[in-house]
Structure 1
Amino acid sequence: MGLYFKYLRILLKVQMQYRASFCLVAFGQLFTPLFVFAGLYFLFARFGSIRGWDFFEVALCFAVIHMAFAISECFARGFDLFSSLVISGEFDRVLVRPRNTVVQVMGSKFEFTRIGRLLQSAGVLIWTVANLSVAWNILKVVTVILMIISGAFIFTGIFILAATLCFWTIQGLEVANIFTDGGKEMAQYPLNIYQKWVTRFFTFVIPFGCVNYLPLMFVLDKAEGNSIIYMLSPLYGIFFIVPCLFVWEFGVRHYLSTGS
């Protein structure tokens, strides 16, 4: 991890060489989720609720998933842009270094400008928490934190799986965006508003339901049965990254280089 933080410091210094550009891009990133949130606001202003969920309940879901995505985009951007390392042959250089390939690829790129998205989502979270009629306690605060961490791990895992495909396809596949950008757009609403097969797939296969639905039921006092299971469900999302890392190692072992 010491090497990882050195990568982080170096790339931060590089991006801060042009501070005006950095600030303008970060400021622009703030508006991307803001316009999406405005659409959410007008939707509820027109219809009032969706399948029993009111505006601030869905806004909490929105804030959590967008914070998680911003964190993952910032710190796992190296996997999202991994195809460029394969195409240029730079990944061969990574392989001969005596350090873990995951750390090196993650450390190859950081998007610190995503702080704009993170701040906007954090602002929505604070506003939502202040307006929700929920009796907050330490367990619910911990659950919200786990939801954000779990979402970041899930998005990172998807980035890793998409990067692993590059060992065979060379170029990155746009189909992976279905589960990153598409997953973000879908997961900003509670999963039970969708068809049952969608809910099951995004709970047991790609566990977005462990970020934006099950723990949300616990926070909003809507859980049925053992509420501790709902509270701890984000842990399943965190563990999602483990099989993703195994798939990555499988891909590394079968990597044959891109030739000359």
Structure 2
Amino acid sequence: MKLYFNYLSIHFRSQMQYRTSFLMLTAGQFLIPFTVFAGVYFMFERFGQLKGWTFFEVTLCYAIIHLAFSLSECFARGFDSFSGLVVRGDFDRLLVRPRGTVVQVLGSAFEFTRFGRLIQGGAVLAWSISQLPELWTFPKLLAVLLMVVNGVFVFTGIFILAATMCFWSVQGLELANVFTDGGREMAQYPLGIYEAWVRKFFTYIIPFASVSYLPLMLLLDKREGSTAELLLLPFGGALFLLPCLLIWQIGIRHYRSTGS
């Protein structure tokens, strides 16, 4: 972890060398998600509710998934841009260093301008919670925090799987964007509005349901459950991340340098 935080410090100081550019990009990242949020707002202005979910219940779902995605883009950017390391042959240098490849790839890139998205998501989260008094207990607020962490695990796992494909294809596969950008757009709404096969896929294969939908069903008293179940549900992302890391290790064993 000391090495990871050293990487973090180096990249942050590097990006702050161009402060005006950094601030403008951060401001842009803050403003861009409002177009998506406006779509949610006007939908509720027109229809009032979404299959029994109110505006603030959906915006809570929106905030959790966008916070998780922004954190993943910021701190797992190395896996998202991993194909560049393979194409340039830079991954070879990582293999001969006396540290794990996961930490080194994580530390190879950070995107701190995503703080703009974090601020926007945090503001929407605070606003939503302030309008939902049934969440004003410590276990439920802790569960919300765990849901965000769980989402980071899920998105990071998808980034790792996409990066692993580079060991065979060199370039990353655009198919991964279906599950990162597409997953973010889908999971910002309750999964209950989708077809049964979609709900099953994103519950048992890629567990977006454990990020927001299933915990929120308990948090908002839409179904009965214990506090223990509420606090355990958000750990589905960790169970998803473990096989992703295993597949990464398998990919490394099949790696052949590009010779760049």
Global fold match (TM > 0.5): yes
TM-score by length of 1: 0.98
Report the 3-state secondary structure (helix = DSSP H, G, I; strand = E; otherwise coil) of the residue aligned with 2:136.
Answer: coil
Pairwise CA RMSD: 1.0
The answer as to 2:252 corresponding to 1:252 is yes
The CA deviation at 1:227 is 5.4
Q: Assess if the C-alpha contact under 8 Å between 1:161 and 1:247 holds in 2.
A: yes
TM-score by length of 2: 0.98
The correspondence of residues 28-39 of structure 1 with structure 2, limited to 5 A, is: 28-39=28-39
Report the 3-state secondary structure (helix = DSSP H, G, I; strand = E; otherwise coil) of the residue aligned with 2:259.
Answer: coil
Percent of paired sites with the same residue:
60
Residue type at the aligned position of 1:125: L
| Structure 1 residues 25 and 218: CA distance shift in structure 2, 3 A | same
What does residue 78 of structure 1 align with? 78
Residue type at the aligned position of 1:211: V
| Structure 1 residues 9 and 223: CA distance shift in structure 2, 3 A | same
What does residue 195 of structure 1 align with? 195
What does residue 146 of structure 1 align with? 146
The answer as to 2:51 corresponding to 1:51 is yes
Provide the C-alpha distance between the structure 1 equivalents of 2:181 and 2:109, rounded to a whole number of angstroms: 19
| Structure 1 residues 225 and 71: CA distance shift in structure 2, 3 A | closer
What does residue 239 of structure 1 align with? 239
Q: Deviations over 1:73-111 (max 9, x none)?
A: 000000000000000000011101110000000000000
Structure 2 residue runs of 5 or longer lacking an equivalent are: none
The CA deviation at 1:259 is 2.7
Report the 3-state secondary structure (helix = DSSP H, G, I; strand = E; otherwise coil) of the residue aligned with 2:165.
Answer: helix
The answer as to 2:205 corresponding to 1:205 is yes
Q: Assess if the C-alpha contact under 8 Å between 1:218 and 1:231 holds in 2.
A: no
How many pairs were matched up? Answer: 260
The correspondence of residues 1-260 of structure 1 with structure 2, limited to 5 A, is: 1-226=1-226, 228-260=228-260
Residue type at the aligned position of 2:12: L
Structure 1 residue runs of 5 or longer lacking an equivalent are: none
Q: Assess if the C-alpha contact under 8 Å between 1:83 and 1:166 holds in 2.
A: yes
- The ranges of structure 1 where at least 4 consecutive aligned residues each deviate by more than 2 angstroms after the TM superposition are 223-231
